[in-house]
């Protein structure tokens, strides 16, 4: 996996992902980006920032309908408003509203707790852990699985946890390495390893694809 990392890093350069001003903004973005594009999430976050709502307590006190209106550009806004409120309630009840205290929790324990929050699945939980909390986990998304499947690393039926454990075992490192690897895979998936049309000849990973066959 390190060869993939080096090849993409050389081709694409530093990704500087996740774009946000605060830890809480990253958490909010991780929830809002479910089933939508980042462009739509940026619009929703801009609305929240203008309304001074990018704080756990402010979001907790806001009415769900008002919150839903603000995040409307992200799609599924009524459900996502409930998810954001659920996280804020969890943060308040478990950690007194402190993200700092929350992220001091051991990774496995915190991940289990996050998965118990309404609307937070494995990808969202790991995005929160990695990007907001700097915990050494790897985020598996559609782009990552597609690349690894086409290169023969995993089967189509591989579960989220199976793909994640494969990457963690083959590419041990710190949170910063997993952050960058995931961001690089996302760009490779968007630019070349597309769902309907794979532009393999243009992809920096083409030589690995040939070796896997």
Q: What is the CATH number of the domain that holds 205?
A: 1.10.1670.10
pLDDT of 213 > 80? The answer is: no
Secondary structure letter of residue 181 according to DSSP: H
CATH code of the domain containing 27: 1.10.340.30
Residues 50 and 93 in one domain: yes
* C-alpha 191: how far from chain center: 18
Q: What is the pLDDT of residues 151-189, one digit of tens each?
A: 999 999 999 999 999 999 999 989 999 999 999 999 999
Nearest Cα to Cα of residue 74 among 45, 107, 40, 50: 40
**Does residue 47 share a domain with residue 112?**
yes
What are the tens digits of pLDDT across the range 82-101? Answer: 999 999 999 999 999 999 99
Tens of pLDDT, residue by residue over 104-154, are 999 999 999 999 999 999 999 999 999 999 999 999 999 999 999 999 999
Q: H or E element: which one contains 177? A: helix 175-191
Q: What is the sign of the dihedral through the CA atoms of 75, 79, 85 and 88? A: negative
| 75 lies in the same domain as 128 | yes
Distance (Å, rounded) from C-alpha 102 to C-alpha 205?
Answer: 38
Calpha distance 175→172 (Å, rounded) = 10
Residue at a domain's end among 132, 157, 177: 132
Residue 212 has pLDDT above 80, yes or no: no
- pTM of this prediction? 0.94
Both 56 and 8 in one domain: the answer is no
Range of the domain at 206: 2-15+139-211
């Amino acid at each position: 996996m390190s060869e993939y990392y080096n090849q993409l890093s050389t081709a694409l350069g530093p990704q500087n992902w996740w774009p946000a001003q605060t830890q809480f903004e990253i958490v909010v973005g991780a929830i809002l980006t479910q089933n939508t594009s980042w462009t739509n999430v940026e619009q929703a976050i801009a609305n929240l920032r203008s309304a001074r709502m990018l704080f756990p307590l402010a979001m907790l006190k806001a009415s769900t309908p008002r919150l839903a209106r603000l995040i409307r550009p992200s799609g599924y806004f009524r459900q996502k408003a409930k998810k954001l409120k659920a996280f804020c309630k969890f943060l308040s009840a478990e950690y007194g509203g402190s993200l700092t205290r929350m992220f001091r929790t051991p990774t496995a324990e915190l991940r289990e707790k996050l998965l118990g929050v309404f609307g937070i699945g494995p990808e969202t939980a790991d995005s929160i852990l990695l990007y907001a909390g700097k915990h050494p986990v790897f985020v598996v998304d559609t782009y990552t699985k597609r690349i690894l499947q086409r290169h023969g690393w995993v089967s189509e039926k591989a579960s989220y946890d199976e793909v994640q454990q494969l990457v963690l075992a083959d590419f041990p490192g710190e949170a910063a390495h997993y952050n960058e690897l995931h961001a690089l895979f996302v760009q490779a998936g968007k630019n070349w390893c597309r769902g309907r049309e794979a532009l393999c000849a243009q992809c920096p990973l083409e030589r690995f694809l040939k070796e896997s066959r």
